Amino acid sequence: MATTSSCTNSWIKPNFSTSSSFTFKNPNTIKCSLQTPTLHFPNQSSAATTTYHQPLAPAKTPDSPSNSKPQWNIIQRAASMALDAVEKALTDYELQRPLPKTADPAVQIAGNFSPVPEQPVKHCLPVVGKIPESIQGVYVRNGANPLFEPQAGHHFFDGDGMIHAVRFDGGAASYACRFTETQRLVQERALGRPIFPKAIGELHGHSGVARLLLFYARGLFNLVDHRHGTGVANAGLVYFNNRLLAMSEDDLPYHVQITPNGDLKTVERYDFAGELESTMIAHPKLDPDSGELFALSYDVIKKPYLKYFRFSRNGEKSDDVEIPVSEPTMMHDFAITEKFVIVPDQQVVFKLSEMIRGGSPVVYDKNKVSRFGVLSKYAEDASGMKWVEVPDCFCFHLWNAWEEPATDEIVVIGSCMTPPDSIFNECDEGLKSVLSEIRLNLKTGKSTRKPIMSDDDQVNLEAGMVNRNKLGRKTRYAYLAIAEPWPRVSGFAKVDLLTGEVKKFMYGDNKYGGEPLFLPRDPNSDSEEDDGYILAFSHHETGGKSELQIVNAITMELEASIQLPSRVPYGFHGTFITSKDLATQA
C-alpha cells in the first residue's frame, strides 16, 4: 500500500524519555514477564498543559484558579507533616513484603501498559492506504494513565483517565491525548504527588483501612477535598445530549469537549444540571431509537446499594428506582432491550469487613447464585422486576440483549469470565472469557446458557461491541477483542451470533491492541448490519510504534493504517462522534 495522505508533515518518532526523575526503584525501570519493552515513567511534553514535576503545595479547591496554591495555616502544615510521616511508615511497611501481581506496579503498568505524557494536536498524520470517505468525525478512546509514580500498590484500573483522540477530516487525520481533569487529578497535581487512595491496588487489608483513615483525616484538616468526587474517569465514553462524557463507576461523569482543531478540553464534573447526585457506572446505554440514556449507580457502603435511572434525549433525569439487592455487588455493565432493562446480580461482591480481616473487599462469593433482573425501562419502582437465576455466571461485560416474543424469552449476549474475580485477586487458574448466549425465560423463570463458538474456535473475547444502531435489538454480529495472551490483545474477532462462525483480524507479530469499535458506513441507511468499518489502536512492542487500524467489517481486510506520532498505551473503551454531532457540541 502507498501513503495516500495529502498532508506533508512527516511522522514524528515516539520519544520514550529517560530523563524523568520519577523512575521505579529496585529496579529503576518497569519490567514484567508479559512485556518486553522497559519504559521509564514519563515526563510530560513541554507543550502539554500538565507536568509531572511540581513542588509540594496545598491542594487546589474546586473554586480556585487552575494554578493557585492556597496557603495552609500552621495547624494544617503541622497536620500535613504528621500525616505524611504516618503514610511513609505505612508505605515502608507495605513494601517489606512482595506485592501481589494484581497490585504490583511492576506488573500492572509495564511495557505498553505504562503511562505516556499528554500530546497536543499533531495534524496531517501519515496514512498507509486510504481513509474511507464516510469516516468523518473523531474517534476517542479512554484509558488508565497514572500521572504519578505509584508509591505502593497499584492496579491497572487505578490510573488517571486519559483520552486519545483521532480526528478525521476529508481523508486526513490528526491525533491528541489529554488527561481528563478530574478533581482527583487537579488536587494531586497541585500537591505534586499521589494522595487519593487507589481503589483496587491499595484498599485491601489493614493497610487499606489505614489509608482510608489517613485520607479522611486529610479531609478533616482541609488538606484535600473529597466532597467533589474521588474518581478517575478512565473507563467509558459516551456522546449524549451534545456532550462527550468520560466515566468510571466511582464518580459522576466528566464533560470533555473536542476543540475545533481536534484537541481535548475538560469542561466540568457533570451532574446534569444538578439532577445527578450519585455515581454512574461506566457503561450507560444509549437507545438508538428514542435517544434516551439508561444507567445504573451502585454504592458499596450504604443502602440503597443499587439504583436505576434514565435521561430523556434532552438530558432530563428520571427519579431513581431502587433495585433490591441484599449486598453491594459489582455492577460494571448491564443491558437494555426495546422494552426492558437487564440487571445482572452476580457473584463478585463488596465486603468491606474483609479489609478488617486483612483481605480484599472485592470477593467472589461461591455461595451466591447469580441472577439477572428484568425490569420495564419506564418502571417507577422495582415491584414488577422479574429475577431469573443463571448459576455460575459472571459477565464483566454484556454486549447486547433483545426480546424473543415467540418464546417469551430475553436473549443476553455476554462474555462469561472464570475465575470471576481473577482481574482483582491473584489466582493460579488461567482466565477464560467465553462468549455466551444466555436465555431468560420470563414465563418459567428458568435460564439456559451456551457458548456461541465451537470448542475448536474458542478464544478469550473481552471488550468490544455490536452495531450501536442495533443496541437492544436482535443482532447478527459482535466485534470483540481477542484477549490472548492475557492480558494483551492480539487481534479482534467478528462473531456470527447465529451460526458461531468466527472471522479474525490479527495485528501481527509483536503487535497488540485493544477494543475494536464498529462504525456503520451510513448510520441512516438500511444497509447490511456489518456494512461499516472497525477501528482499533495497535502497538508494535518491538518497534515501539502505534497505529490506528481501519478494517472493512464485511471483508475483514485492512483499508488504512494511520501512523501515530506517539505511543498509545493499551486502554479501555471508546466511541465515535460524527462531524454532524461535533457541530452541535454543547
pLDDT in tens, the chain (586 residues): 444 444 543 333 333 333 333 333 333 333 333 333 343 555 544 333 333 333 323 333 333 334 456 578 889 889 888 988 988 888 888 888 888 777 788 888 888 998 999 999 999 999 999 999 999 999 999 999 999 988 888 888 889 999 999 999 989 999 999 999 999 999 999 888 899 988 887 787 778 888 888 888 998 888 999 888 889 999 999 999 999 999 998 899 999 999 999 999 999 999 999 999 888 999 999 999 999 999 999 888 888 889 999 999 999 999 999 998 888 888 888 999 999 999 999 888 887 777 777 677 777 888 888 899 999 999 999 999 999 999 988 888 899 999 999 999 999 999 988 876 666 655 556 778 889 999 999 999 999 999 998 888 888 898 899 999 999 999 999 999 998 887 889 999 999 999 999 999 999 889 999 999 999 998 776 778 999 999 999 999 888 899 999 999 999 999 999 999 999 999 999 999 999 999 999 8
Asked if residue 228 belongs to a known ligand binding site, the reply is no
Contacts of 67 (CB under 8 A, 6+ apart): none
CA dihedral sign of residues 459, 465, 471, 475: negative
3-state secondary structure 32-66: ECCECCCCCCCCCCCCCCCCCCCCCCCCCCCCCCC
Contacts of 276 (CB under 8 A, 6+ apart): 252, 270, 317
Residues 99, 153 contacting (CB under 8 angstroms): yes
CA 132 – CA 134 distance, rounded (Å) = 5
Length of the chain: 586
The neighbour count for residue 50, using CB atoms within 10 Å, is 18
C-alpha dist (Å) from residue 445 to 194, 200, 218, 271, 410: 49, 36, 50, 38, 11
* Range 348-357 burial, b when 16+ CB lie within 10 A, else e: bbbbeebbee
- Please state the pTM of the whole predicted model: 0.86
Which residues partner with 165 through β-bridges?
140, 176
Q: Where are the beta strands (DSSP E) in 476-583?
A: 477-482, 491-496, 502-506, 511-513, 517-520, 532-540, 546-552, 558-563, 574-578
Asked if residue 53 belongs to a known ligand binding site, the reply is no
Radius of gyration of the chain (CA): 23
| CB-facing half-sphere around the CA of 477: CA atoms within 13 A | 25
Residues 353, 359 contacting (CB under 8 angstroms): no
Question: How does DSSP classify residue 320?
Answer: P
* Range 239-262 burial, b when 16+ CB lie within 10 A, else e: bbbebbbbbbbbbbbbbbbbeeeb
Question: How does DSSP classify residue 329?
Answer: B
User: If phi over 0 gives left and psi between -120 and 50 gives alpha, with beta otherwise, what is residue 575?
Assistant: beta
Closest CA to 335 of 442, 422, 413: 413
**DSSP element (H, E) containing 437:** strand 432-441
Asked if residue 332 belongs to a known ligand binding site, the reply is yes
Q: Which residue has the cell 464534573?
A: 269
